[in-house]
Amino acid sequence: MSNQSQESIRISTDQLIDAAVANKEGIIASNGAFSTTTGDRSSRSPEDRFIVKEAHTEDLIEWGEVNRPFEREKFNSLWDKVESYLAKRSSYISDVHVGAHPEHYLPVQVTTETAWHSLFARLIFISPDNFNPLNKIKWEILSAANYECIPEEDGTNSEGCIVINFSERKVLIAGMKYAGELKKSMFSVQNFLLTDEDVLPMHCSANINKNSNVTLFFGLSGTGKTTLSADLKCSLIGDDEHGWSEGAVFNFEGGCYAKTVNLSKENEPVIYNAIKHGSVIENVYIDDNNEPDYSNISISENGRCCYPRSHIENAVKENAAGEPKIIIFLTCDLTGVMPPVSILSRESAAYHFLSGYTAKLGSTERGAGAPIQSTFSTCFGAPFFPRPASVYADLLMKRVEKFDSKVFLVNTGWTGGPYGVGSRFDIPITRRIVNAIQDGELNNVETLKIPGLNLSIPKSVNGVNSKLLNPIKNWDDKSKYQKQLEDLVSQFQENFKKYDVNQEIVSAGPGFDD
């Protein structure tokens, strides 16, 4: 390695692609996308994510397994080391905004070791015509994908880390090739900052239907946020991260980051067609003819594609819209007892938002394998929320009540039996249910209550076999259904003990009558 200082450069998107290929960071696939792999780091590393503990924010953060404290002195030392490391190499700079709102955005300077990570930042964040017009104090991301931390010296958990420093407006990403760490670090930053501006940050996708109704889709990765919001009948705002201020829903990003496992033109045409020149595919198997094989998960279950919103024909030009008329919580139920759609009251909406019941899918976190157990992720995004859950739940209920949004729980998981026995709901069935919600077909319909789950479901949905709507009807052995139901209700109740909320919310959740 030469000790000679190298230049940090700002170049165009096409030049970044050329540089990435010249640097042998990846290849051009047959569809024109830049294709790369990230080695062992093919998903997020929660155990390597930290927040600097300092006086200004210490009492506002919910410290624990999600938000791990990092010493300020260690951060400063490691930042200097990585900065020196990059100074001896050519690095790449992108100036972006995080937040498509004239006031609630962050200007961010992203410096990366590799050209393709700079390309990713350019695609996933917002590339403004006028960088930082309000002259806000900018944030800095320093990303050195090939750097190796020394845990004993640097205070890290491994050779890689993601460290957020709120007081200095810095994010350090070292030893992490997986590009998702770039986007999720800034999501965490906005999740902390925006609540002080009376803006609800949300782990959700958003679209608008033909009647100009805005819909939000909350859910963990793999539950259908991107797939269901990318609907030919609707116009897309964004696929993953948004803010809800009074009068508006706005995207944090300028691009999409979708899972590619089993991606097909038939089921997900919007996503499939968006993968072309000017996009990135990550950890996707490429055959000898440079053709992507989305069904081959030999590299990773968590194959990804990143593309700009400009690749979507009917994306909302403003990257924002009015407040949402419809809110959908997406859950992937592994037990086979949750209905495909439930209509939630205000109290049950609060209960299920706090619970965030779902499953981890597609190895979105390092060390996670196939979906074999349920999980509860507060606010449908616990890994990214620095503040206590009640802060976000209170803001959601405030917005829902003020705008009179309707809330639904949609299960994209299993029916007729648990994972490994039953079958997963087909995408066209779930999409029909979502379209029915958006078109107002489920307003004021006849419902029935699912015992134990305490959920109200519609008796019929046009275009959907009514047998599918009531889970017990899809089980051959009703006693096995009852056992799974009782176990799931117990999980809900045990998880919810940590929340100090009024009894009306508690009573709106799962439970059996005495």
- Retrieve residue 89's tokens: 């190499």
- Retrieve residue 148's tokens: 């190796």
Rounded Cα distance, 286 and 292, in Å:
5
> CA-based angle 406:362:185, to the nearest 5?
70
Please determine, for residue 369, whether its predicted confidence score (pLDDT) is greater than 70: no
Top pLDDT among 395 and 514 is at: 395
> Taking residues 28-56, what's their average pLDDT?
96
> pLDDT tens digits for 185-231?
999 999 999 999 999 999 999 999 999 999 999 998 789 999 999 99
Please determine, for residue 66, whether its predicted confidence score (pLDDT) is greater than 50: yes
> Taking residues 93-115, what's their average pLDDT?
97
Beta bridge partners of 306: 257, 280
Please determine, for residue 5, whether its predicted confidence score (pLDDT) is greater than 80: no
- pLDDT value at position 372? 64
- Torsion region of 64: left, alpha or beta (phi above 0 gives left; psi -120 to 50 gives alpha): left
Percentage of the chain lying above the pLDDT 90 cut: 91
- pLDDT value at position 8? 79
| Strand-strand pairing, 49-52 and 161-165 | parallel
CATH number for 10-197 (one of 3.90.960.10, 3.40.50.300, 3.20.20.80, 3.40.449.10): it is 3.40.449.10
Q: Average per-residue pLDDT in the chain? A: 94
**Which residues in 99-231 belong to E strands, given as ranges?**
106-112, 139-144, 161-165, 170-174, 200-208, 214-218
**CA torsion sign, 381 to 383 to 389 to 394?**
negative
- pLDDT value at position 9? 86
Please determine, for residue 368, whether its predicted confidence score (pLDDT) is greater than 60: no
- pLDDT value at position 365? 64
Show Cβ contacts of residue 480 under 8 Å, excluding neighbours closer than 6 positions.
Answer: 417
Rounded Cα distance, 47 and 130, in Å:
37
- pLDDT value at position 3? 45
- pLDDT value at position 289? 97
> Taking residues 437-448, what's their average pLDDT?
95
> Taking residues 476-486, what's their average pLDDT?
97
> Taking residues 386-403, what's their average pLDDT?
94
- pLDDT value at position 221? 79
Please determine, for residue 261, whether its predicted confidence score (pLDDT) is greater than 70: yes
Please determine, for residue 73, whether its predicted confidence score (pLDDT) is greater than 80: yes
- pLDDT value at position 361? 67
- pLDDT value at position 2? 40
- pLDDT value at position 362? 55
What letter does residue 489 receive in the DSSP assignment?
H
- What is the number of residues in the chain? 514
Closest CA to 239 of 218, 260, 225: 225
- pLDDT value at position 366? 64
Please determine, for residue 322, whether its predicted confidence score (pLDDT) is greater than 50: yes
> Taking residues 455-475, what's their average pLDDT?
96
Percentage of the chain lying above the pLDDT 70 cut: 96
Weakest mean pLDDT among 144-153, 158-167, 332-341, 370-379: 370-379
Q: Which H or E run contains 361?
A: none
Domain 201-254+317-507 has CATH 3.90.228.20: yes
> Taking residues 57-84, what's their average pLDDT?
97
> Taking residues 100-119, what's their average pLDDT?
97
Query: Catalytic site residues?
Result: 44, 184, 203, 221, 225-226, 240, 304
> pLDDT tens digits for 119-168?
999 999 999 999 998 989 999 999 999 999 999 999 999 999 999 999 99
Rounded Cα distance, 172 and 320, in Å:
29
Q: Where are the domains of the chain?
A: 10-197, 201-254+317-507
